[in-house]
Chain A
Amino acid sequence: MENFILEPTEKTLKINFNVPKGIFEMEGSSYSENTWQFFQSLNVWLRRYIAEVGNPITLNLKINYLNSTSTKYLMDFLLILEEFYENGGKVKVNWYYEEGDDIQEMGEDFAADLNLPLDLIVYD
């Protein structure tokens, strides 16, 4: 299975899903109203990875800003990971945030609401 890489734009996230390492990275901001297809492609890819590869996943999230639509779609993505985890898959989510940034609150919401090992990590 091939890696999944998308370069960031001002309104869409940088995506770097590395299959051999099992390290998936999402970084940046997403606030386009037309993100359905963007996130759908991630979900389709993730389901394929789980079905065809199924190795442990480390997801590193360095989010700057998500609008409501993108937040909803990120939740959809994390719910797929949760299902994988609940079926015995190995998953670790690292939620990076800058000190004082309210993206920390979003990470805490997700951590409390999902059955996933999710660590909040502060960075400079």
Chain B
Amino acid sequence: MENYNLFDHYSKMKEKNIFFIFNGLFSDSLFSALMQNIQTVLSEKGEEPGIIKKIFSVFIELAQNIYLYSAEEKGDGIILIEDHKNFYRISAGNLIKNTEVCSFKNKIDAINMLSKKELRELYLKKLKSPSEPGKTGGNIGLLIAARKSGNPIDINICPVKRDAETLKNRIFNLLFSLFCNLKKTKFPKAPNKNWSFVELSVRIDKNI
């Protein structure tokens, strides 16, 4: 197998104005390290503190969205920031179950339909609803991302069909089905292995 061409990757990132990218497992301890790095880079670029804070905010909400909702492996995803002439764009992607795609897309579409005032009202309503441990409930993070950026959240969905079964799983399933046959019980239905890659993009306009 050929080595992955890192130079191609690097050149493409440069060409697309991507100055920051992370791919892999997101963890809570990773956020502060990433955020410090991004803040330093943006300060050195001479960006305004207000814009840096908006980027900080949107980045954290999108990254934590991956951390909480990525389907296959908790926290597995990719996030990047582009720096264009008039705006920054933060894009984050992760796998979610096909069965959850529709409701997720509807949530984003619903947020994008709201006016500035409606966004604020929904945000405050969600803030006041009862808390559950570890969950903010009702996508407050996405509402914050939409409010901070003042732009719609772009959503892009790519179906990914793949077999997540490992050899070990297959042997286990085979033995288990034999066992079920012997016991004359029903073999449980195989779990849904169809995923989609969901990509969210948020644009933050520069003050020019």
Contacts and interface: CB of A to CB of B under 8 A. Distances in A.
Nearest to B31: A31
A99 B94 CA distance: 37
B32 interface: yes
A87 B68 CA distance: 38
Interface in A15-42: 31-34, 36
Given A68-B61, A76-B131, A33 B67 contact: yes
Contacts of B31: 11, 31-33
A73 to B, nearest CB: 7
B50 interface: yes
A113 B128 CA distance: 10
Chain B at the A interface: SS class = helix
Contacts of A109: 120, 123-124
Contacts of A69: 64, 136, 140-141
A72 B136 CA distance: 7
Q: How large is the interface on A (under 10, 10 to 19, 20 to 34, 35 or more residues)?
A: 20 to 34
Interface string B125-158: 0111001011011001101100010000000000
Interface string B60-99: 1100100110000000000000000000000000000000
Given A79-B128, A101-B53, A31 B140 contact: no
Nearest to B32: A10
Interface string B33-75: 0010000000000000110011011001100100110000000
Contact of B140 (A36, A71, A100): A71
Contacts of B165: none
Nearest to A34: B28
A109 B121 CA distance: 9
B47 to A, nearest CB: 14
A67 interface: yes
Interface in A25-74: 31-34, 36, 65, 67-69, 71-73
Interface of A: 10-11, 31-34, 36, 65, 67-69, 71-73, 75-76, 79, 100-102, 109, 113
Which 9 residue pairs spanning A and B have beta carbons closest together? A68-B141, A68-B140, A75-B127, A36-B133, A72-B136, A113-B124, A10-B32, A69-B136, A33-B28
